[in-house]
Amino acid sequence: MQISLWKLFISFLKIGAFTFGGGYAMIPLFEREFVHRYKYIKEEDFTDILVICQSLPGVIAVNFAVYIGMTLRGKKGAFVSGFGMILPSFVIIMTIAAFLYRFVEHEAVVAVFQGVRVAVVVLIFSAGLKFLKQNFHFRGIFLAFLTFTLIAIVYVHPFFVIGLLGVLGYLIHIISGVSHHADDNA
Amino acid sequence: MLMTMLSLFVTFVGIGAVAFGGGYAMLPLFERMIVDTHGWLTMTEFLDMLAIAQVTPGPISINSATFIGFQINSVIGAAIATTGLVLVPVILVSLISTNAERFKKSTFAQGIFVGLRPAFVGLIFASVYSVAFDAYVDVYSVLLFIVLFVLLKVFKMHPIFVIFISAIAGYIIYI
């Protein structure tokens, strides 16, 4: 049975509205909704779709929504899914942004944000450690260190560094051949 | 204002087109473009924006784009920034979803990822490096970092609670 556009929209709206912690936190919810609950997508296809969405630039959750929408209901499906995914963020953030700057001078708010800034750095740092663990081999560490040095120390624009690393990766890949793949797929 | 809107759109289209690796790996791009190049937010405002983007539901980069756009020109700015961010990726996804098999086998797609995967690590640590100067103002913030890190990593506390605790700690320490 075909999923209705409305159901598709509501599914993504729900996940977008109630998942805290960014796109990665949404992956188990996508799986529960589309693989286990409605069985619109097979387990092995789900993993493939996820890999493709992570291999493309952009917002992983939105990429996923558009992919699923496109697969199940074509262009209209892609549109309602992507829109459903973005809408909650859009409304919530604008509401907060509209009120925030009335209180920003208040000394209690200043104090609270001073503490929260530390937590933000902790969260980014820990995301970095997680990715580092997945790339914990000589080449991975070397390329990560190269990226860090170029951006943070030499102050090269991240646009160029991303391009450079893509080209380097491609060259390494064609020179080293297929046999060295295993360690990249961690 | 028209020029600012145009430049907002172009900036976010550019970020969206090269932002591999999701929300956290995008941060250096956001920071360089929003804080350094255009001066739309100060470094402190940028950090506060990130805090809000993390404690609210939804993808962090969508939250950030909406927030930045809204700061510049209300609802229209928010819509322009968010649409810009997803534009290129959405087109790519639509094209690839109908050719998934070919994409998976492509040497080019596999190859660039040999470089891009470690690049995410470097990108994320580059963000940590630059935001840390703004967040770590005294010895209390360093101590708070250690406590929060242990809560997150050792006690596996949910990030939302980690942020909640940091807010209480901030109130107690700095009021």
Question: Per-residue pLDDT tens for B17-54?
Answer: 998 887 888 889 999 999 999 999 999 889 889 888 88
CA distances from A30 to A24, B22, B90 (A): 10, 16, 18
Within chain A, strands assigned E span none
A65 vs B contacts (CB less than 8 Å): none
Question: Per-residue pLDDT tens for B57-88?
Answer: 999 999 999 999 999 999 999 999 999 999 99
Structure tokens at B90: 């959405």
Positions of chain A with pLDDT under 70: 1, 178-186
* Cβ of residue A49 closer than 8 Å to a chain B Cβ: yes
Helices H, strands E: what count in chain B? 8, 0
Q: Measure the CA–CA gap between B121 and A131, rounded to whole angstroms.
A: 6
**Chain A residue with Cα closest to B36:** A157
Q: Give B1 to chain A, closest Cα distance, Å.
A: 20
* Cβ of residue B173 closer than 8 Å to a chain A Cβ: yes
Question: Per-residue pLDDT tens for A165-184?
Answer: 999 999 999 998 754 444 44
CB spacing of A131 vs B57 below 8 angstroms: no
Mention every residue, 6+ apart, whose C-beta is less than 8 A from residue A173: B107, B110, B111, B112, B114
Mention every residue, 6+ apart, whose C-beta is less than 8 A from residue A130: none
First to last CA, chain B: 38
Q: Are A69 and A3 in contact (CB under 8 A)?
A: no
Which of B59, B132, B166 is opposite residue A22, by nearest beta carbon? B59
